[in-house]
Amino acid sequence: MALVPSSAPVNESPVITEVDMGGDDSTPTVRATVVQASTVFYDTPATLDKAERLLAEAAGYGSQLVVFPEAFVGGYPRGSNFGVAIGNRTAKGKEEFRKYHAAAITVPGPEVDRLASMAGKYKVFLVMGVIEKEGYTLYCTVLFFDSQGCYLGKHRKIMPTALERIIWGFGDGSTIPVFDTPIGKIGAAICWENKMPLLRTAMYAKGIEIYCAPTADSRDLWQASMTHIALEGGCFVLSANQFCRRKDYPPPPEYIFSGTEEELTPDSVVCAGGSVIISPSGTILAGPNYDGEALISADLDIGDIARAKFDFDVVGHYARPEVLSLIVRDHPANPVTFTSASAKTEVSDKS
């Protein structure tokens, strides 16, 4: 094991995380890092600055792939209810949504261009959790970039969990990509999407090898889900979560943790992280980390994928398509479709 100093908040001692140096000369290895750090809430430019600092640090350790948490750019509004009750929305909650919307980014857009530039500058494949806005609807999205600084595409969370549904729209089958890159086939599912077996099956069918799982779930139970997916898919699983204290969010009354605010101090941990990297055999290569902000890294022996698939290939020799099958509708689901101007003119002329 090699010891690599992690990122830490300013004026705090750096955390040390372990990097697995496994693998052998017969198969390639990929050094991967999952980032465990908090958003600068309501301040997207400052969040991008922080992301670049962390990316530079990971690249300095030789990382080829860096995965950031769910909603890192734009923020995960933990503890907020946006003033919503059945049949009612408060004025304060609407203003809270306006500020949250203002912190979101458009895709494509200047923030995407900057992230692409970062990936190219530091020569890393980058997987970044963002809050995306299309008009006035927000989406919890993951963006993918290659090491040449090219934007590859995005995945929109197809099923927001619980109260997330009041602030985020639903993705569709057109944004469930798996990208074939020089370091492996990379895709992502966000937080509790990972509990959806049919979504996982679709990703396995696309040949995913490095399965990214940005999340907001820091419970011990999350580790069981990540280990299961690694074993089920015969893939590496990289789960990145934010580590947040109350002071990482705006103070009250600007931002309220509903129902618990009076119990919190500025140093209270509101999300404990738990970021982890797991091999296709279910071996934990790095993490889970619950100690603070950190860069959690491991060397991925790509040969482990074939070794695991020899035992169990969920969409290969272990599939029974004559008994069980899945249809995935991978086209965009548009609410409005416009006919062309020429078609309208043609109809008008005939009448």
Judge whether residue 181 has pLDDT over 50: yes
C-alpha 272/C-alpha 138 separation (Å) is 25
Confidence band for 344, pLDDT divided at 50, 70 and 90: low
Q: What is the pLDDT of residue 10?
A: 34
C-alpha 177/C-alpha 156 separation (Å) is 10
Judge whether residue 108 has pLDDT over 90: yes
Q: Which of these ranges, 5-14, 163-172, 306-315, has the smallest mean pLDDT? A: 5-14
Percent of the chain exceeding pLDDT 70 equals 89
The answer to whether residue 70 is catalytic is yes
Judge whether residue 346 has pLDDT over 80: no
**pLDDT per position as a tens digit, 232-288:** 999 999 999 999 999 999 999 999 998 898 999 999 999 999 999 999 999 999 999
Q: What is the pLDDT of residue 19?
A: 47
Q: Which of these ranges, 13-22, 46-55, 124-133, 335-344, has the smallest mean pLDDT? A: 13-22
The helix or strand, by DSSP H or E, that contains position 30, with its residue range, turns out to be strand 29-36
Confidence band for 25, pLDDT divided at 50, 70 and 90: low
Query: 1 vs 327, which has greater pLDDT?
Result: 327
- Among residues 70, 96, 111, 232, the one annotated as catalytic is 70
C-alpha 71/C-alpha 76 separation (Å) is 5
The mean pLDDT of the chain is 90
C-alpha 129/C-alpha 149 separation (Å) is 17
Kindly report whether the peptide bond that precedes residue 9 is cis, defined as omega within 30 degrees of 0: no
Judge whether residue 21 has pLDDT over 80: no
Confidence band for 22, pLDDT divided at 50, 70 and 90: very low
Judge whether residue 41 has pLDDT over 60: yes
Q: What is the pLDDT of residue 259?
A: 87
Q: What is the CATH number of the domain that holds 51?
A: 3.60.110.10
**pLDDT per position as a tens digit, 111-134:** 999 999 999 999 999 999 999 999
Nearest to 257 by CA among 91, 96, 44: 96
Q: Which of these ranges, 2-16, 96-110, 242-256, 320-334, has the smallest mean pLDDT? A: 2-16
Give me the domain span that covers residue 258. 2-350
Query: Which tokens in the block code for residue 326?
Result: 């899945």
User: What is the count of structural domains for the chain?
Assistant: 1
**pLDDT per position as a tens digit, 88-104:** 999 999 999 999 999 99
Strands 137-145 and 151-156, by their bridges, are antiparallel
**pLDDT per position as a tens digit, 206-230:** 999 999 999 999 999 999 999 999 9
Q: What is the pLDDT of residue 335?
A: 87
Q: Where are the alpha helices (DSSP H) in 145-292?
A: 197-205, 220-233
Confidence band for 340, pLDDT divided at 50, 70 and 90: confident
Name residue, tokens 């992230």.
115
Query: Average pLDDT of 21-43?
Result: 83
